[in-house]
Amino acid sequence: MTRVLVTGAGGAAGVAVLRALSRAGHHTIAVDVDPDAVGLRLASERATVPRWSDPAFGDSLLSIVDATRPAALITTVAEEIAALHDLTDALAARHVGIWLPPAAGVAVCLDKWKFAGVLTDAGVATPATGLGDAAGVGGPWIVKPRFGRGSRDVYRVEEPGELTWACRRTPDPIVQTVVPGHEFTADLLVDRDGQLVACVPRWRLATKAGISTKGETFEDPELHVVVARTVDAVGLHGALNLQGFVHRGATTVVEVNPRFSGGLPLTLAAGADLVGEYLRGALGEPIRVERLQARPGVRMTRYYAECFES
């Protein structure tokens, strides 16, 4: 049994990680900014912290570490990774294992305009993207915040006359061409040397309010190659979640989240123990690639109240 502290306990990814760790027999310590976060009730111990942007975040988290003595810390909040990088020496002094993706790569992922540019420069297919307007970007279009997550302030625009309206309603907008094809999400694990050791793609078969409610794992060797090129271009390792489309055999990458996804339960059900092997990596132990193989064709449908996917 390992004592593991998990941040972001109120999010779908945090809940999935906490449940996986508990099933494996580990002692979990759940942390979130919201005292009513559902994940706090799933853990052996629980605590609250200020938001990652609060100057008190670091000291508060270290106080929790001192009180609970975890052997490892797992974050499920991409935005707090930069703040955790500032704590790596303090955590090491407390013998707490942590595995963070490089801060520069995380910054690229959190900035959708920069992300599109990095992939374009690397020759990875990604939607045509404009900053603030649709100049040089063919329609129909998706207008979304340059910085943001989920489906908030995201608009699909069919007519050119609607673009100005959508851009005015969207904070710091980018405009992208709508990508045709079948939408997928992939859970990834990249080792510290940058090798893609796990790639579990799943089709988004049904969604509600932008959230996947049904998925099915599949295999696609060509998609695997595109995914490897993507994480190499961005310069990431650790647990990641990639989203894109497959159209006529070609893969287009839309975004990468440098964290576990809320759809993680399907990957785990398909047999890939991403949480267990990530924990080994955080503790400095070798990753067992044979435990990261997933079965294709595994389908999961979840009730809307319980289903959250990046």
Return the structure tokens found at 33. Answer: 């900014």
Architecture of domain 182-306 in this structure: 2-Layer Sandwich (3.30)
**pLDDT above 80: residue 43:** yes
**pLDDT above 50: residue 305:** no
pLDDT, tens digit, 9 for 90 and up, residues 67-81? 999 999 999 999 999
Percent of the chain with pLDDT over 70: 95
| Interacting residues of 62 by C-beta distance below 8 A, sequence separation 6+ | 87, 90, 91, 94
pLDDT recorded at residue 310? 37
pLDDT recorded at residue 209? 54
Task: Answer for the pair 124, 226: CB distance below 8 angstroms, yes or no.
Answer: yes
Q: Which stretches does DSSP call E strand in the chain? A: 3-7, 27-32, 45-48, 72-75, 97-98, 129-131, 141-145, 155-157, 173-177, 182-190, 196-208, 211-217, 238-247, 250-257, 299-301
pLDDT recorded at residue 307? 40
Q: Tell me the residue length of the chain.
A: 310
User: Using CA of residue 298, residue 282, residue 112, residue 38, what is the dihedral sign?
Assistant: positive
**pLDDT above 70: residue 196:** yes
pLDDT recorded at residue 308? 40
Confidence of residue 211 (pLDDT cuts 50, 70, 90): low
pTM value is 0.91
CATH 3.40.1080.10 fits 3-98, yes or no: no
Report d(CA 124, CA 227) in Å as an integer.
9
Q: Where are the alpha helices (DSSP H) in 9-102?
A: 12-23, 57-68, 81-85, 88-93
pLDDT, tens digit, 9 for 90 and up, residues 18-30? 999 999 999 999 9
Confidence of residue 206 (pLDDT cuts 50, 70, 90): confident
**pLDDT above 80: residue 149:** no
Q: Which residues pair with 256 in a beta bridge?
A: 242
Confidence of residue 179 (pLDDT cuts 50, 70, 90): very high
Return the structure tokens found at 70. Answer: 């975890």
pLDDT, tens digit, 9 for 90 and up, residues 110-133? 999 999 999 999 999 999 999 999
Mean pLDDT value across the chain: 93
Residue ranges covered by each domain of the chain: 3-98, 128-177, 182-306
Task: Answer for the pair 201, 217: CB distance below 8 angstroms, yes or no.
Answer: yes
Q: What is the residue-wise DSSP string for 198-241?
A: EEEEEEEEEEETTEEEEEEE---HHHHHHHHHHHHHHT--EEEE
Q: Of 52, 54, 179, nearest to 110 (Cα)?
A: 52
| Residue 209 burial (10 A CB sphere; 0-12, 13-18, 19+) | exposed
